[in-house]
Amino acid sequence: MKQRRHYFVILSLTYLLLAGVECLPAHAQTSVKHYQLNDSHFHLTNYVQKGIDIRAFLGIMGDHVGRVAIFGIPLQQQWSYRNDGTDAPEYYLSSDSPLYYYSFTDAHIAMEYRSLSKEEQNRFDPMITGFNPADMYAADHIRRVLQTFPGVFSGIGEFSIHKEFVSSKIAGEVASLQDPALDRILDFAAEVGLIAIIHNDFDTPFPKEGKPPVYLEQMKSLVRRHPKTTIIWAHIGMGRIVRPIKGHADYIESILRDPAFNHLYFDISWTEVAKYFVASPEATEVAADLLNRYPDRFLFGTDEVAPPDQKQYLRIYDQYGPLWKKLQPETSEKIRKLNYERLFDAARLKVRAWEQANPR
């Protein structure tokens, strides 16, 4: 059965390469050389599923941003009249009511994408997020989304396992790095060729003095278990309250040096992460040194959520100004653009081949 499946995948890849330009990597169709960056981490909608029209976002991208990994937020903040009255919460910290998984976000993203011309579509890599990582059926949801919307998605995520203040608010079971449901998701991602963007904090918001990071070894174990899955660890394991731990760069470097983690990448998205990178000249020097030595393993992302204008959308890019000045030109080019293109071009080809071999 595996040999037969591999035969169909190879056949489908050949078909895709011969069929026409729609399946070619985006940079083969539309030059992105003049763009400043690609964005590996962008939310079109927020925690109450509000956002901006994708065409309006194209205008915000303008000539500054070439391609964007685009997704919603898989969680919906409940509006409980008993708790919030007529004051509708707009953010997950605005209410004590729970969050719940909102699967329709995937259909919304797919339809927004499909409303674009082929040339416009080439600037986006939509991601599947509307699944519960504690549910053994989550992989089946991802399969159904791919087969319902073929030609759309390139990966899964950003989805969260351990996230400060969010995890405890989600109704139902708490997600875990050791859950077989998560293993099933990442196994399926490897089969299809989907990139997986995972938010998982290095540590708890208020760690115990002198104790090692709570979730680091569990995360490393998860990555080791899935050597064929391309994984992007969002925000380098940091959060709003989860600050860089002592020796954070050393922990990251130990991972980067280990061949067992060659399929693991880090994004430097979120203004909360950027503030630590540029907190002092010394901090920027440490960060730049790490990135210059491992230029192929980091991606730039904004982590913006439905920004109203280009100034807000690119604020993190400007915030990283001191870092860009410290990076070697080749390193800067890879982190801002080329690593994105390499990973997402490969994902597009693999996922389209799987879809051809596994029609609905």
166-192 pLDDT per residue, tens = 887 888 888 999 999 999 999 999 999
Q: Which domain CATH number covers 199?
A: 3.20.20.140
In a domain, 283, yes or no: yes
Band of residue 93 on the pLDDT scale cut at 50, 70, 90: low
Whole-angstrom distance, CA of residue 60 vs CA of residue 320: 19
In a domain, 69, yes or no: yes
Mean pLDDT of the chain: 90
Instruction: Match 């997704």 to its residue by tokens.
Output: 71
What H or E segment, with its residue span, contains residue 151? none
Whole-angstrom distance, CA of residue 48 vs CA of residue 313: 20
Band of residue 9 on the pLDDT scale cut at 50, 70, 90: very low
In a domain, 60, yes or no: yes
User: Is residue 27's pLDDT more than 70?
Assistant: no
Instruction: Match 């004051």 to its residue by tokens.
Output: 87
Band of residue 18 on the pLDDT scale cut at 50, 70, 90: very low
In a domain, 259, yes or no: yes
In a domain, 83, yes or no: yes
User: Is residue 28's pLDDT more than 80?
Assistant: no
Q: What is the largest CA-CA distance in the chain?
A: 59
In a domain, 188, yes or no: yes
3-class DSSP assignment, residue 123? coil
Among 165, 167, 170, 200, CA closest to 93: 165
In a domain, 19, yes or no: no
> Does pTM top 0.75 for this prediction?
yes
User: Is residue 10's pLDDT more than 60?
Assistant: no
Range of the domain at 341: 35-357
Band of residue 206 on the pLDDT scale cut at 50, 70, 90: confident
Q: How many domains does the chain have?
A: 1
Report pLDDT for 245. Answer: 65
User: Is residue 205's pLDDT more than 90?
Assistant: no
- Residue of 327 and 210 predicted with greater confidence: 327
Instruction: Return the DSSP state at 337.
Output: I
In a domain, 9, yes or no: no
Q: Please state whether beta strands 124-128 and 37-43 pair in parallel, antiparallel, or not at all (unpaired).
A: unpaired
User: Is residue 130's pLDDT more than 70?
Assistant: yes
Number of C-beta neighbours around residue 311 at 10 A: 10
Number of C-beta neighbours around residue 194 at 10 A: 25
At 134, give phi and psi (nearest 5°).
-100, 5
